[in-house]
Amino acid sequence: MEPMNSVGHTPSRINFSLLLILFLSLPAGLSAQLGVQLQYRLPLSIAESSILAAPLVQSGWSAGVIYSFRKSGIRIEWVPGLHFMQTTAESAASVDLAGSGIQATLDFRIYPMDLYGDCLCPTFSRKGQVIQKGFFFEAGAGGYYLSQETGIGSQGGGNFLARVGAGLDIGLSRRLTITPGARIQYENSLHAWGASASQKQSRPLWVYPYLQLMTYFDN
């Protein structure tokens, strides 16, 4: 992530604050789910910019709380989330670097094979209809603020993200669901680690496999 001065920080901080306010003020539906989500961060490609002194293979993880709600009669769900994130990389000098931050997101999910189902989804007993009832596509957007070590200090900044993905709800019981899934995520800023501008990474696309556990409740 490129260094930013105090003026450059302002738009990113405003965008992140708006996302956080949106997350905290979203209304509840007649039925909802609350859960936790864990995801891992992988580069879509190992290829780097030709200006790099050495590859910087970056990975990371995040853990957070998500809330899902929908209108009755149609299976389109809104899923806001708030996450802690951690990233790691290796500098051109083979020094391990780390970063940490906070992320707010808002996704929506659609269940194409059971769009007008009347179930208490996704935590009902599926009786063998896992694919039909549980498969979904999703898309979303959000932002995060990340503070990173650079080898000579630390720097921080905000970032916008947009993503698409798919997953499968698997009912463990009437009120407990586990969901594996994967996303491709676009991030608008390049990442810079290390002491010089020549160590910028050129990848805006990342793969995020994830696993979530949710419980159903009535308002």
Residue 177's domain spans which residues?
Answer: 6-207
The pLDDT-based confidence of 62 (bands split at 50, 70, 90) is very high
pLDDT digits (tens, 9 = 90+) for 121-168: 555 555 667 888 889 999 999 998 888 766 566 677 778 899 999 999
Average pLDDT over residues 24-43: 73
122 upstream amide cis, omega within 30 of 0: yes
- Domain membership of residue 213 (yes or no) is no
- Asked whether residue 147 is assigned to any structural domain, the reply reads yes
Q: What is the pLDDT of residue 184?
A: 94
- The closest alpha carbon to 218, from 110, 69, 116, belongs to 69
**Of residues 83 and 70, more confidently modeled:** 83
Q: What is the mean pLDDT of residues 31-60?
A: 71
- In terms of Cβ atoms closer than 10 Å to its own Cβ (0-12, 13-18, 19+), residue 24 is exposed
The CATH number of the domain where 195 resides is what? Answer: 2.40.160
Rg for the chain, CA atoms, rounded: 19
Q: Is 216 among the domain residues? A: no
**Span 110-128, pLDDT tens digits:** 999 888 876 665 555 556 6
Q: How many domains does the chain have?
A: 1
Do 177 and 148 touch, CB atoms closer than 8 A?
no
**Does 29 reside within a domain?**
yes
Query: What's the Cα-to-Cα distance from 218 to each of 120, 160, 176, 212, rounded to whole Å?
Result: 10, 33, 14, 20
Whether residue 155 is contained in a domain is answered as: yes
- Number of helical H runs and strand E runs in the chain: 2, 9
pLDDT tens figures, 163-196: 999 999 988 877 788 999 999 998 876 555 544 4
Is 152 a domain residue? Answer: yes
Mean confidence (pLDDT) of the chain: 75
Q: Is the pLDDT at 52 greater than 60, yes or no?
A: no
3-state secondary structure of 134: helix
Query: What separation, in Å, do the N-terminal and C-terminal C-alpha atoms of the chain show?
Result: 42
